[in-house]
Structure 1
Amino acid sequence: MRMPIRIAVFAGALAAAGALISQTGDPRRVGPTMNGGFLLNTGWLLKPAGRQVPLQTLPMASALSPSGKFLVILQAGAQPPSVSLHDPATLAELDRLALPDAWLGLSFAPVGDVFYVSGGSTATVFEIGISPTAKLEMRRQFALVPEDKRKATDLIGDVTLSPNGRLIYAAAVLRNSIFVINPQSGMVIEEWKTGQRPYRILFHSDGASFYVSGWGDGSIYHHNATSGEILARYPVGPQPMDMVWRDKAPEVEQGEAPPQFKSRLFVALAGANNVAVFGVTENKTMFRVDSIYAALAPNNQPIGMTPSALALSEDEDRLYIVCSDANVVAQVAIAGKRGMVEGLIPTGAYPTSARVLKDRNLLVLNGRAPRGGGSASIMPDPTPEQMEAYGKTALESSAYHVQDEFRNPLPMGHALFRNETVKPPIQHVIYVLKEGRTYDEILGDVDGGKGNPANAVFGEDVTPNHHKLAREYALLDNFYVTGDSAAAGLSWSTAALAPPFLQLLGPGADAGRRKLDALEGGERAAQPPAGYLWSNAMQRRLSVRNYGMSVTNIEPAPASGVQVSAVKEPSLMQATNKAYRGADARYRDTERVKVFLKDLAEAETTSTLPELMILRLNNDRTAGSASKLPTPKAAVADNDAALGQLVAAVSRSRFWASTVIFVVETSTQGGPDHIDPHRAPAFVISPYTRNRGIDSTMYNSMSVLRSIEAVLGMVPMTMHDAGGPVMRAPFLASPDTAAYGAVGPRQNLEERNP
């Protein structure tokens, strides 16, 4: 088939320009590496310690039977949830039982081979037995909320039993309460209010009281186990999650006075790089006695390690801190009064929990595996020499290095260069957030790029503007989204971190098992501890305008005028244009962009344009085959037309010479791509990137945030954007201010599903 002349000319120009920018040799790409590791879409390298055992998606919890003969692992990601039964010595799978839903809670009865599992959004607790032939058997289901009264907020999380096994305690995460169940009758006998977003339930060693970590309010709650009375509340820090109890007095030096406490409570603070340590006296008074710093750098590292889970050695002299977003476990000596970090152990991707088995082997559950599913890492107790080697691997595998936070790698004269006296020529950033498509799905048919035309289901006949922009500006064929789920992806793209609330609940929401209203603000447990891109910009007194982020729409959509009934994120209250409708597959992106274009026209008259503008244009996610809604091709074509209109209008404005437009997908929905399902189309559109050709440098969501921060003179929010490379290669030294000509839709935007 002959290529149209105009397209052929563009393709030839692209190939010629590409020679100026493409790297010598093969660039880094996601996948296996020569040294036996795996390069992730995040830019981090995986080289986990120990033996790796494949599991299903998002393994969250493990439990060892009282006899020590069986290990149970709960898996609750995008795939159908299940519990699997394993031989703890070999991790060989003995049986598996599928569940309608599950989330976090897993606990054995003190005696026998019966355990209890959270039913997640089914608002139930499952009682499961292990038969004499090592088969899993569903025994009973305890409904905590009757099915006809069940709501989206009825999510059951942690499940534990009283030390005597007579009662089951279950955390209702979104109801902010604790259910108490009598396992003999199977009836709910109490529901007690507790802190916001209860995560972990942990009993005091005497069994008369228990502690609850308030994920959403940064506190630990101490409850009477009989009445549910809140005995005390202790503020601990951002996003407390897992807790462990050490019931041994710390060792002291000869002649040193013994401490006032015997027991210690360790609390993982996912919103910091720390574990808070509390001493507990005989009368149960609790006070902070230590803070264990778990990080890659010794001092002042930005947040982003995400210590989310804890484990104790059998003798309780060692603590293991699971750092989910750094893919490591920190090993800490805690026999003395203060914890001493002995080193870091590299794990699989996004570790979620750890356990020390009877043979002193360390078991780590990894939430994700490079090619899908999850995994378990199992390793013997490391020697000091092994710990040294593990620590070196952990540091080398990180995308963050301490100097990255302070180093400006750009040369004088670069379009993004700035220092105390020099500002870059670019003064305005338009950040367009799309959602749901891989590189191959959109640009797989572009000549010169590393695409697969067979996967281009939304090729040039559907997305002519995406293709024209790729040819006229820079074609980025090695860009990856950082997040996996829709919820996590949006947070990564705006906050350089996705809190565990989104990482752990998002996959189930994507799979349709539960509704998650915390996608775009308003949920305290999902608040990124360093804030968002816009809140950090505001702190630097930069002007911000929001179009469609963190809003609640008016239903049904008005024909014109105000579309937003509420702004969920307080920091965006004054910056939001309420005529711009938030995510809604029934509403066209081409209608949304008219609101932005009206603001742009007004800015032309005042010569004032905000320094940071954020737009949601996410109809490319599509509504799939939902009845009466736009077909996928109509939705993506609408999204393409809106993007073309936006770029065309900005390129004809007085602000064009001082503006850059970053366009990203926040997630890819795991669509088809022959390199990796995280690879996505992305654009850097500016007079300084016109005719730049192919850039095959490996970039990801963090690279875009780091580049925006470079333009606007902002410091990184977390260790992740601090480690993201600035996108220097697409920018030329001199601008080409020629306007962009938008292409009209080639699909029928009125087309609807049956």
Structure 2
Amino acid sequence: MMIQKAKQLATVVAAIAILGGSAQAQDVLVTGKKITLPPLGAVQNVGSLPMNIVLSPSGKYAVSTDMGFRQSLWSIDAKTGAGVSHVDFPNNADGSNGLYYGLAFGPDGKLYAAQGAHDSIAVLALAADGTLTQTGSIAAQAHDFPAGVATDSRGYLYVANNDPATPLQPSSIAIYSTATGASVGRYSFSASFYGTPNYPLSVAALADGSKMFVTSERDGAVYVLNTSNPAAPALITSIATGAQPDGLLLNKTQTRLYVSNAHSDTVSVIDTATNAIVDTILLQPTGAHGLAGVTPNGLALSPDENTLYVSLGDFNAVGVVDLASNSLKGYIPAGWYPTGVVATDSKRLLVANAKGTVTRNPNPGYLTDPNGQYILNLIEGNVETIAVPNSVLLAQDTKLALANNRITPTTTNPVNPVSSIGVKAGKIKHVIYIVKENRTYDQVLGDVPTGNGQPSLAIFGQPVTPNLHAIAQRFVLLDNFYDCGEASGDGWPWSTQSIATENVIKNLPYNYSGRGRNYDFEGQNNGYLTGGFPAANPDGKTLSPVFPGGLPRIPDVTEAPAGHIWDAVKKAKLSYRNYGFFYSFGVGSLLPDNYPAASGLLPPGHDLAGVSDYDFRRFDSDYADSEAPITYYNQTGNPAFLYKITNYGKHQAPSRFTEWKTEFNQLLAKDPTGKAVPTFQTVRFMKDHTQGTSPGKHTPRSEVADNDYAIGQLVEAVSKSPIWDSTAIFVIEDDAQDGPDHVDAHRSTCYVISPWIKKSTVDHTFYNTDSVLKTVEGLLGLKPLSQYDAIADPIQAFDTAPTNGDVYTAILPDASIIGELNPSIVALKSNPTMARLAALSSKMDFTHPDSAPAQTLNEILWKSVKGAGSTMPAIRHGLSAAPAPKSAHAASRKHDGDDD
């Protein structure tokens, strides 16, 4: 019988004060949470995004593995925490070389490291002095994508093949001989969901080889295989553990298996003899039950096996679990997004922090080293040495960790400061949420004199974005706003569900570094539309000739436990309409194009039918956001104003705005009072992404101006309608994509437009993506989606009455900007710099968000505006925030019995 005992930290209640612990100081992250900064010398930098760490059989060293832009294996001295040796895995020209999560020592001391898209497992030796040397490699099958690895005493290596590159190819488990490297056996997870990958990640094997365990990120389960005959592994059972199980750890006697369930915020305890869950340990703190935001991943046992340590990614801490009672004892503050932990002895822990312990990252050498200064490359992961606290210090550490995470007894039900003007109060009854692409604050609003801007960085200033400038200056200028995401891959999850899943955190930098995997962050997994699709589209035409009967819904590994903002709206029984969020890109004729990928956005339809507008064009750089191109074409007859796709959908709309306006008019025709207009709308205007200097395409200035006019046109349409006095419009970028900004590369633009916004407000308060979601939730009367939006500060520029209700008139950008086209490479032969950038642009993928290399694209954008001979100023990574209080205890404090 499965026992489900959710144990909690009952001792942590009431208001939390910072009373000390192993911390020295604190600093705020763009996510709104804080980290405790370690003392000097307590960390070892190990590369980009370390995602696993294991202890050597001798216990003298730990080894970490990276999954970011710079991938290395590092050996760390277990006693001192200092780096001893490292082996780099630089990216090949074909983008294949690298590392991916899996890391295990064999009984003979050999180290096995999975290499993901390289389709191999590296074999290394760890010398007595800590020197790492690669001695060989085990070749996997093409497209296997090895992830988790484990060994047994018989001489077999077990490998979880996580994400085959071919669409609809199933995942598998492969078994190899460690002596010869030969493939011995294989088990394929092909029985369900049309052969789609279920993303097996971690592997654990019993020493006698009779049984192995593997987590499935998608299925929320641990699969158990009989491996007595390695040539014919067979499924015994699956154990439902929790959302996105991540790490596995066997105790010494191998009677218990611990499973970290990243998005249930629990650890499952499994009896390995019966394959039954005997306990479930809740790691969420009192006050935040039911809110994702702890994210257990790595696991470690103390030498006496009385304590389980759990790295908690989103909580920036290590959880301490008493195994006598299987209950949480407390938290130890760590760095930014810890992913692994080992107990080197009874006195100290080594913790891998995926994003390190530095929150301010200036990059003065951007042009001389753009690859090295790109945000996903610049953020340095590290391994931090933390002393094991005694019970008194653990209590203090726990209070500090809770304070860092802003957890209070009311976190689950936070105060709603905008409830008096929201939907339930009958005042603001309509919210429109617009998400754009990839601009920093200084790039657009750096020339606004009342804000903290740098005019020299405003490459898309007032002449290019007259509407955004007018809107910011009439309503509220927010100059201390930050995107939580670093690129579209995590920016869209942050913008729609207030958190990025463990799967997204791992795979974003791996994918963006060009090492493989699909862009699977907007409702698609390995190209599969997770919401499924029927046989026919709204016009009765077959959606996929390959799958004429359609495909079913499957779980989405990028979706957080509470789902997306539209799921919360549906749960609250509010009306909703989607324009462009999470539309599919299609895979040839295999899967449908321009079809909502997430289940909560289904079905699509024409003319207000369904949930999503089937006639609204998805992310597509060859289609206009606004009516500026068609307006100037009609005036001049010059085709240079037009994009490749001149119209789209049932209404042959020349722009995304036109299609939105068509349905808006239909809503007002249904009810001239505006009551038919949905309570919540999501709208995607994406042309500020640009296509760089791709020859023959519109210039970056032209595309940003097109995007600007779309915003202005939508605001004008609403301001001239009967719903104006009951509407709030929010406009953000999904990410800032590391463009130039003198404060921080995450700093971006946010516009809040409503008659209820105090006129010409300038607000310097720290806000982020979750602040916008928190404000939207407050107006709509929704509960938080995660800890992040629960603790976020809502935007505070609202008035008690709609005093700012004048009609807004959209400003048409100048024809000379809207009609700008990039010259051909031949035309640039006298300008070798721009010719080089044009050639680079022409080879970039602009069909998917952020598929072009952003570090190079930023240079292209800068020089396209400022000239080939210009030098782009340094880009900074830092935050404007009040100084954080210091811990009452020094980080170098001694523990009872600590003689080091």
Q: Which residue of 2 aligns with 1:275?
A: 267
Asked if the contact 1:119/1:126 (under 8 Å) is kept, the reply is: yes
Q: Which residue of 2 aligns with 1:38?
A: 27
> Which AA in structure 2 matches 1:527?
E
Asked if the contact 2:288/2:787 (under 8 Å) is kept, the reply is: no
Instruction: Within 5 Å, give how 1:438-587 maps onto structure 2.
Output: 438-523=440-525, 524-553=556-585, 564-574=593-603, 575-587=611-623
Q: Which residue of 2 aligns with 1:388?
A: 395
> Which AA in structure 1 matches 2:66?
Q
Shift in Å at residue 638 of structure 1?
Answer: 2.2
Q: In the superposition, relative to structure 1, how do residues 313 and 298 fare at CA in structure 2: closer, same or farther (>3 Å)? A: farther
Shift in Å at residue 339 of structure 1?
Answer: 0.7
Shift in Å at residue 424 of structure 1?
Answer: 4.2
Identity, % of aligned positions: 30
Residues 629-664 of structure 1: per-residue CA shift (max 9 Å, x gap): 544333322222221222122211221111111011
Shift in Å at residue 539 of structure 1?
Answer: 1.4
Q: Which residue of 1 aligns with 2:877?
A: none
> Which AA in structure 2 matches 1:60?
M
What is the alpha-carbon distance in structure 2 between the residues aligned to residue 629 and residue 133 of structure 1? 57
Q: In the superposition, relative to structure 1, how do residues 643 and 555 fare at CA in structure 2: closer, same or farther (>3 Å)? A: farther
Shift in Å at residue 132 of structure 1?
Answer: 7.6
Q: Which residue of 2 aligns with 1:715?
A: 783
Q: Which residue of 2 aligns with 1:14?
A: none
Asked if the contact 1:564/1:579 (under 8 Å) is kept, the reply is: no
Residues 141-199 of structure 1: per-residue CA shift (max 9 Å, x gap): 333134xxx4xxx4321122223444353433444211222343333333312482101
Q: 1:332 aligns to what SS in structure 2?
A: strand
Q: 2:25 aligns to what SS in structure 1?
A: coil
Q: In the superposition, relative to structure 1, how do residues 131 and 363 fare at CA in structure 2: closer, same or farther (>3 Å)? A: closer
What is the alpha-carbon distance in structure 1 between the residues aligned to residue 742 and residue 285 of structure 2? 33
Asked if the contact 1:472/1:691 (under 8 Å) is kept, the reply is: yes
Q: 1:663 aligns to what SS in structure 2?
A: strand
Asked if the contact 1:181/1:190 (under 8 Å) is kept, the reply is: yes
Q: In the superposition, relative to structure 1, how do residues 391 and 132 fare at CA in structure 2: closer, same or farther (>3 Å)? A: closer
Shift in Å at residue 35 of structure 1?
Answer: 7.7
Q: 2:117 aligns to what SS in structure 1?
A: coil
Asked if the contact 2:703/2:818 (under 8 Å) is kept, the reply is: no
Shift in Å at residue 616 of structure 1?
Answer: 1.4
Q: Which residue of 1 aligns with 2:866?
A: none
Q: In the superposition, relative to structure 1, how do residues 140 and 632 fare at CA in structure 2: closer, same or farther (>3 Å)? A: farther
Q: Which residue of 1 aligns with 2:669?
A: 605
> Which AA in structure 2 matches 1:178?
I
Q: In the superposition, relative to structure 1, how do residues 628 and 271 fare at CA in structure 2: closer, same or farther (>3 Å)? A: farther
What is the alpha-carbon distance in structure 2 between the residues aligned to residue 247 and residue 137 of structure 1? 28
Residues 596-619 of structure 1: per-residue CA shift (max 9 Å, x gap): 111111122123111110011223
> Which AA in structure 1 matches 2:421?
A
> Which AA in structure 2 matches 1:108?
F
Q: Is structure 2 residue 235 aligned with structure 1 residue 230?
A: yes
Match of 1:124 among 120, 125, 131: 120
Q: Is structure 2 residue 270 aligned with structure 1 residue 286?
A: no
Q: Which residue of 2 aligns with 1:26?
A: none
Asked if the contact 1:426/1:711 (under 8 Å) is kept, the reply is: yes
> Which AA in structure 2 matches 1:477?
D
> Which AA in structure 1 matches 2:305?
E
RMSD: 2.5
Instruction: Within 5 Å, give how 1:421-436 maps onto structure 2.
Output: 423-436=425-438
Q: Which residue of 1 aligns with 2:48?
A: 57
Q: Which residue of 2 aligns with 1:246?
A: 251
Shift in Å at residue 275 of structure 1?
Answer: 1.4
Shift in Å at residue 139 of structure 1?
Answer: 3.0
What is the alpha-carbon distance in structure 2 between the residues aligned to residue 403 and residue 60 of structure 1? 32
Q: In the superposition, relative to structure 1, how do residues 166 and 270 fare at CA in structure 2: closer, same or farther (>3 Å)? A: closer
Instruction: Within 5 Å, give how 1:70-149 maps onto structure 2.
Output: 70-77=61-68, 79-99=69-89, 100-112=97-109, 114-130=110-126, 135-146=131-142
Deviates further, 355-364 or 216-225: 355-364
Q: 1:742 aligns to what SS in structure 2?
A: coil
Q: In the superposition, relative to structure 1, how do residues 316 and 531 fare at CA in structure 2: closer, same or farther (>3 Å)? A: same
Q: In the superposition, relative to structure 1, how do residues 745 and 98 fare at CA in structure 2: closer, same or farther (>3 Å)? A: farther
> Which AA in structure 2 matches 1:145?
Q
> Which AA in structure 1 matches 2:565?
L
What is the alpha-carbon distance in structure 2 between the residues aligned to residue 80 and residue 585 of structure 1? 30
The answer for unaligned runs of 5 or more in structure 1 is: 1-33, 249-261, 558-562
> Which AA in structure 1 matches 2:821?
E
Instruction: Within 5 Å, give how 1:628-667 maps onto structure 2.
Output: 629-667=697-735
What is the alpha-carbon distance in structure 2 between the residues aligned to residue 504 and residue 520 of structure 1? 16
Q: Which residue of 2 aligns with 1:307?
A: 296
> Which AA in structure 1 matches 2:34?
L
> Which AA in structure 2 matches 1:98?
D
Asked if the contact 1:310/1:319 (under 8 Å) is kept, the reply is: yes
Shift in Å at residue 109 of structure 1?
Answer: 3.0
> Which AA in structure 1 matches 2:338?
P
Q: In the superposition, relative to structure 1, how do residues 319 and 348 fare at CA in structure 2: closer, same or farther (>3 Å)? A: same
Q: 1:484 aligns to what SS in structure 2?
A: coil
Q: In the superposition, relative to structure 1, how do residues 307 and 625 fare at CA in structure 2: closer, same or farther (>3 Å)? A: farther
Match of 1:408 among 405, 409, 415: 415
Asked if the contact 1:586/1:630 (under 8 Å) is kept, the reply is: no
Q: Is structure 2 residue 418 aligned with structure 1 residue 350?
A: no
What is the alpha-carbon distance in structure 2 between the residues aligned to residue 190 and residue 626 of structure 1? 48
What is the alpha-carbon distance in structure 2 between the residues aligned to residue 136 and residue 622 of structure 1? 44
Q: 2:44 aligns to what SS in structure 1?
A: strand
Shift in Å at residue 360 of structure 1?
Answer: 4.1
TM-score, structure 1 length as denominator?
0.86
Shift in Å at residue 367 of structure 1?
Answer: 1.1
Q: In the superposition, relative to structure 1, how do residues 210 and 132 fare at CA in structure 2: closer, same or farther (>3 Å)? A: closer
Q: In the superposition, relative to structure 1, how do residues 140 and 573 fare at CA in structure 2: closer, same or farther (>3 Å)? A: same
What is the alpha-carbon distance in structure 2 between the residues aligned to residue 236 and residue 132 of structure 1? 39
What is the alpha-carbon distance in structure 2 between the residues aligned to residue 263 and residue 291 of structure 1? 16
Q: 1:167 aligns to what SS in structure 2?
A: strand
Q: Is structure 2 residue 821 aligned with structure 1 residue 751?
A: yes
The answer for unaligned runs of 5 or more in structure 2 is: 1-22, 90-96, 165-169, 190-196, 362-378, 526-555, 604-610, 627-654, 823-837, 840-900
Residues 39-79 of structure 1: per-residue CA shift (max 9 Å, x gap): 111111211567333332211112333334443221211x2
Match of 2:737 among 664, 669, 675: 669
What is the alpha-carbon distance in structure 2 between the residues aligned to residue 649 and residue 734 of structure 1? 17
Q: In the superposition, relative to structure 1, how do residues 640 and 493 fare at CA in structure 2: closer, same or farther (>3 Å)? A: same
Asked if the contact 2:490/2:508 (under 8 Å) is kept, the reply is: yes
Asked if the contact 2:303/2:346 (under 8 Å) is kept, the reply is: no
Q: 1:571 aligns to what SS in structure 2?
A: helix
Q: In the superposition, relative to structure 1, how do residues 364 and 133 fare at CA in structure 2: closer, same or farther (>3 Å)? A: closer
Q: In the superposition, relative to structure 1, how do residues 739 and 400 fare at CA in structure 2: closer, same or farther (>3 Å)? A: farther
What is the alpha-carbon distance in structure 1 between the residues aligned to residue 159 and residue 146 of structure 2? 11
Q: In the superposition, relative to structure 1, how do residues 135 and 633 fare at CA in structure 2: closer, same or farther (>3 Å)? A: farther
What is the alpha-carbon distance in structure 2 between the residues aligned to residue 35 and residue 83 of structure 1? 29
Shift in Å at residue 244 of structure 1?
Answer: 1.5
> Which AA in structure 2 matches 1:469?
I
Q: Which residue of 2 aligns with 1:187?
A: 182
Shift in Å at residue 741 of structure 1?
Answer: 1.9
Deviates further, 393-402 or 429-438: 393-402
